[in-house]
A = this chain, B = another copy of it.
Amino acid sequence: MSKVRDNGNPAVRSLPCTQCPLRRRKTFRDFEADELDFVGRFKKGDLAIKKGATVLVEGAHNPHLYTVLSGWAFRYKLLDDGRRQIVNFAMPGDLIGLQGSLMGEMQHSVEALSPMVLCVFEKAELFSLYERFPALAYDLTWMASREECMLDENLLTVGRRTALEKVAYLLVFLLERAQQSGLTGKRTLSITQQHVADTLGISVVHTNKTIAKLAKRGLIAWEDGGCRIVNPEALAELAGWSAGSSVKRPFL
């Protein structure tokens, strides 16, 4: 039932929800006893994903719904001629595939940026969650709304911010989320300039030059296939970043 392969992550062997590491993080709302019990049975097992693997493809009908336990991924859409737009990222505690669960066919693809472990749930049992645990159902809607919020902000970034502001914004956004979700404790993001470009709607070349500019100002440093944020405050300032809410957030 639970397929597990270790990809360099701490070994996880169909981790029971009672021992879920996310419950201990103070950014997340912990479960009530009966909820924990239900979610534990709702969860069908773990799924290990290799870095670079495609988790879900646009157009697919997948019977599962996932939650990120560790690692991260990006969601994207393609145009016929190959132009790619990264739409958002998924980090620990985030849902993957909810949209497909509700509306049938996936409207976007998901690819792992690092080795990941996902918790697997059964679409078909989703409605029973709504029937038996309204609070969890409410949480799901909450999570969907949070996603919507992030997309709004990303749209603002892609549509109206300058290249320099865009890169600054994205890096602060990702660092903030990575730290809150426990993806990393350090100030580094293991990401490619191509990903940055495809998220912000600009070319790789120009992304590179913009990054060089930020590096010259001492705000960031690009080192061995990733970014180190040297001065998050200055970046946030440049990006016109407004801190997100500090409310505890739910997860599944």
Beta-carbon contact of A102 and B160 below 8 Å? no
Which residues of B lie under 8 Å from residue A103 when comparing CB positions?
142, 145-146, 149, 245, 247
Determine how close the nearest CB of chain B comes to the CB of A106; give it in whole angstroms. 10
Beta-carbon contact of B140 and A84 below 8 Å? no
For the complex, is A168 an interface residue (Cβ under 8 Å from B)? no
Beta-carbon contact of B201 and A159 below 8 Å? yes
Beta-carbon contact of B156 and A79 below 8 Å? yes
Beta-carbon contact of B145 and A79 below 8 Å? no
In the complex, 16 of the A-B residue pairs with CB atoms within 8 angstroms, ordered by the A residue number, are A79-B156, A79-B240, A85-B155, A85-B156, A103-B145, A103-B149, A103-B247, A107-B149, A107-B152, A130-B134, A130-B137, A137-B141, A144-B145, A147-B148, A148-B148, A151-B151
For the complex, is A218 an interface residue (Cβ under 8 Å from B)? no
Q: How far is the CA of A101 from the CA of B118 in the complex (A)?
A: 29
**Please, what's the 1-or-0 string for A78-119, where 1 marks a CB less than 8 Å from any CB in chain B?**
011001110100000000001100111101100000000000
Q: A80-B240, A155-B155 are in contact. List 7 more A-B contacts (CB 8 A).
A: A102-B145, A103-B149, A127-B134, A147-B148, A151-B152, A158-B158, A159-B198
Q: Residue of B at shortest CB range from A137?
A: B137
For the complex, is A44 an interface residue (Cβ under 8 Å from B)? no
Beta-carbon contact of B102 and A142 below 8 Å? yes
Beta-carbon contact of A87 and B141 below 8 Å? no
Beta-carbon contact of B79 and A141 below 8 Å? no
For the complex, is A200 an interface residue (Cβ under 8 Å from B)? yes
* A residues whose Cβ falls under 8 Å from a Cβ of B: 75, 77, 79-80, 83-85, 87, 98-99, 102-105, 107-108, 127, 130-131, 134-135, 137-138, 140-142, 144-149, 151-156, 158-161, 198, 200-201, 240, 245, 247
> Given that A130-B134, A152-B151 are contacting pairs, would A160 and B99 also be in contact in the complex, using a CB cutoff of 8 Å?
no
Q: How far is the CA of A156 from the CA of B85 in the complex (A)?
A: 5
Q: How far is the CA of A194 from the CA of B155 in the complex (A)?
A: 17
Q: How far is the CA of A161 from the CA of B80 in the complex (A)?
A: 11
Determine how close the nearest CB of chain B comes to the CB of A104; give it in whole angstroms. 7
> Given that A85-B159, A145-B103 are contacting pairs, would A77 and B153 also be in contact in the complex, using a CB cutoff of 8 Å?
yes
Which residues of B lie under 8 Å from residue A79 when comparing CB positions?
156, 160-161, 240
Chain B CB count within 10 A is highest, among A85, A131, A152, A200, for A152
Q: How far is the CA of A167 from the CA of B39 in the complex (A)?
A: 45
Q: How far is the CA of A85 from the CA of B146 in the complex (A)?
A: 19
